[in-house]
Amino acid sequence: MNKITLLFISIVILLFAGCKPDASSDNETTFAKGADISWLPQMEAGGYIFYNENSEEEDCFQILKDHGINAIRLRTFVDPSDNPFSGHCSKDETVAMALRAQKWGMSVMIDFHYSDSWADPGKQRKPKAWVGHDFPTLLTDLYDYTYDVMSALKKAGVSPEWVQVGNEIPGGMIYPEGSTDNWPQLAQLINKGYEAIKAVSPESKVILHVDQGNNNERFRWWFDAAKANGAKYDMIGLSYYPFWLEGRPDYTESIDDLGANLIDMASRYGKEVMVVEVGGFDSMVQKTYNMLVAVQKKVREVPDEMGKGVFYWEPEGARSWSRYPLSAWGDDGKPTKALKAFLMEE
């Protein structure tokens, strides 16, 4: 072999070595560092001004992106009021926000509340337009509404990567018919949502979402029942608000339970897992930062890359505007250090 041939081979080896994908950066692009920012249109319409760390006025999306956020979650209500705190989030507003997020290069999650306002563990009120309908009609209502919103997104050119059927539904949704007191009916409602989503966007992953992500007993009970009743879904979504647990304990007292539950859910049901809501007090910035770093670490530690991401709930929803104490924004209109937790590397 002559020197010219050896030189050529050496160059080829170097070129291929330089082009080889880096495993850590590959994983970085698939791990969702997300934020639910459904309040943003109301904040902007009311004149709220967002500032970056240099005290310069800047688009909230740019600030979020500069802090590592690569995915946006948006709630949608059936027939909402115009109340800035518990309304908005109509189909049209959701589509506009989803399109905006996509233009910023961010993945999109849609969160169907199946209500005219908040749905959560404490309340799952059916939309007023659906009141009085018998159960077969409710199934049609849910399918048609879900299909309509998904079709509007598709028409706008948005294909959500994830879609939630219900928001925090440990007790079910669309009460009383969809309560966990009647799991066969709840499963039928879930499946109508699943079918409508897949009919429009087959690649979207359907999430079922339960709160208290550190509570393995709660999750086993719920997802065992979902399996027994034939509920269809692709991914398990968890909420984790350690400072809202009974007694408001430090997150260090429950973070290992969260990690163990994430691993158990992935192995027990063969589903990907994601923390779709997390938050910490804005008055405890360092502790919230530490908690967010720890949560991301626990999700990444789920074997076989089954842990897919972490979403902060309304980081931009500054208390001065929303009265919500768990944002990651200060009274000065700037993000707090807590949001920098999403800049962490694996």
Phi and psi dihedrals of 235, rounded to 5? Answer: -150, 150
Q: Write the CB contacts of 150 (distance below 8 Å, at least 6 apart in sequence).
A: 110, 160, 163, 196, 197, 199, 200, 201, 204
Encoding tokens for residue 159? 């294909």
**Across-strand partners of 275?**
238, 310
For this structure, is 277 an active site residue?
yes
- Tell me the residue type at 27: N
For this structure, is 301 an active site residue?
no
Which of 93, 177, 277, 314 is the catalytic position?
277
Phi and psi dihedrals of 100, rounded to 5? Answer: -65, -45
Which of 168, 177, 272, 314 is the catalytic position?
168
Q: Which residue, 167, 163, 131, 130, is CA-closest to 146?
A: 163
Question: What is the helix (H) or strand (E) element at residue 94, kind and residue range?
Answer: helix 91-103
Encoding tokens for residue 26? 């590959």
Q: How far is CA 177 from CA 63, 166, 181, 272, in A?
A: 42, 14, 9, 28
Residues assigned a catalytic role: 168, 277
